[in-house]
Structure 1
Amino acid sequence: MPVLIGSYADQYSTYDDDFKPLAAPVRTPAPSFLAVGPTGIRYAVGELDAGQVSAFTPTGELINTLPTGGGGPCHLAVDGDRVVVANYGGGSVAVFALRADGGLDRRTDLAQHAGASVVADRQEGPHAHHVTIRGNLVHAVDLGMDAIVHYRLTPEGRLDHVRTTTVQPLGTGPRHLVFHPGGRVFVANELSSTVSTYTSGFEQLDEKPSCLVQPVGDNLPSELALSRDGRRLYVANRGNDTITTFSVEEDGLLPIDEVSTGGTWPRHFAVLDGALCVANQHSGTVALLDLDAETGVPSQARVVLEHPSPSAVIPID
Structure 2
Amino acid sequence: MPRPGDLVIGGYTPDTEGSGPGLTVARPDAEGRLEPVAETAVSGPSFVAGHPRLPLLYAVLEREGEGGLAVLAAGEDRAAPRLLAEHPSGGSLPCHLALDDRGEWLAIANYGDGTVTAYRLGEDGMPEPGPLTFPHEGRGPHPERQEGPHAHMAVFGPDGVLYVTDLGTDEVRRFLPGMRPHPEGSVRLAPGSGPRHFLHHEGHWYVTGELDGTVRVYDASWREAGTVRASGAEGENLPSHIALSADGRHLYVANRGPDTVAVFAVDGPRLTMVAEAPAGGRWPRHFAIDGDRLYVACQRSDVVVALGLKEGLPEHGGQTLAVGTPSCVLVR
| TM-score, shorter chain, exceeding 0.5 | yes
One-letter code of the match for 1:263?
G
**More moved, 158-167 vs 33-42:** 158-167
Contact persistence 1:63–1:103 (CA under 8 A): no
2:98 to 66, 77, 91: 77
How far apart, CA to CA, are the structure 1 residues paired with 2:36 and 2:110? Answer: 30
Q: 1:251 to 1:268 in 2, by over 3 A?
A: closer
Sequence identity percentage: 35
Alpha-carbon distance in structure 1 between the residues aligned to 2:293 and 2:59: 24
Please state how far the C-alpha of 1:5 moved relative to its aligned partner. Answer: 0.4
Does residue 31 (structure 1) correspond to residue 45 (structure 2)? The answer is yes
Q: What amino acid is the match of 2:309?
A: L
Residue 8 of structure 2 is aligned to residue 4 of structure 1: yes
Report the counterpart of residue 308 of structure 1 in structure 2: 324
1: CA distance between counterparts of 2:130 and 2:290? 33
Give how far 1:247 is off: 0.6
Amino acid at match of 2:321: L
- CA separation in 1, counterparts of 2:299 and 2:122? 33
2:57 matched residue in structure 1 = 42
Selected match of 1:276 from 286, 294, 312: 294
- Does structure 1 residue 131 correspond to structure 2 residue 154? yes
Q: Which residue of 2 aligns with 1:193?
A: 213
Counterparts in 2 of 1:1-317, with a 5 A limit?
1-9=5-13, 10-18=21-29, 19-23=34-38, 25-37=39-51, 38-49=53-64, 50-59=66-75, 60-79=81-100, 80-134=103-157, 135-154=159-178, 158-162=179-183, 163-168=185-190, 170-180=191-201, 182-215=202-235, 218-293=236-311, 296-316=312-332
Give 1:108 deviation, angstroms: 3.0
Q: Tell me, yes or no, if the aligned pair for 1:94 and 1:107 is still in contact at 8 Å.
A: no
Aligned residues: 306
Q: Distance in 2 between matches of 1:291 and 1:200?
A: 30
Q: Distance in 1 between matches of 2:118 and 2:268?
A: 36
Letter of the structure 2 residue corresponding to residue 66 of structure 1: H
Partner of 2:17: none
Shift in Å at residue 291 of structure 1?
A: 1.2
Q: Secondary structure at the match of 1:105?
A: coil
Query: In the aligned structure 2, how far is the partner of 1:209 from the partner of 1:235?
Result: 10
Comparing 94-103 with 199-208, greater Cα deviation is found at: 94-103
TM-score (norm 1): 0.93
Superposed displacement of residue 105, structure 1: 2.0
Unaligned regions of 5+ residues in structure 2, if any?
14-20, 76-80
Unaligned runs of 5+ in 1: none
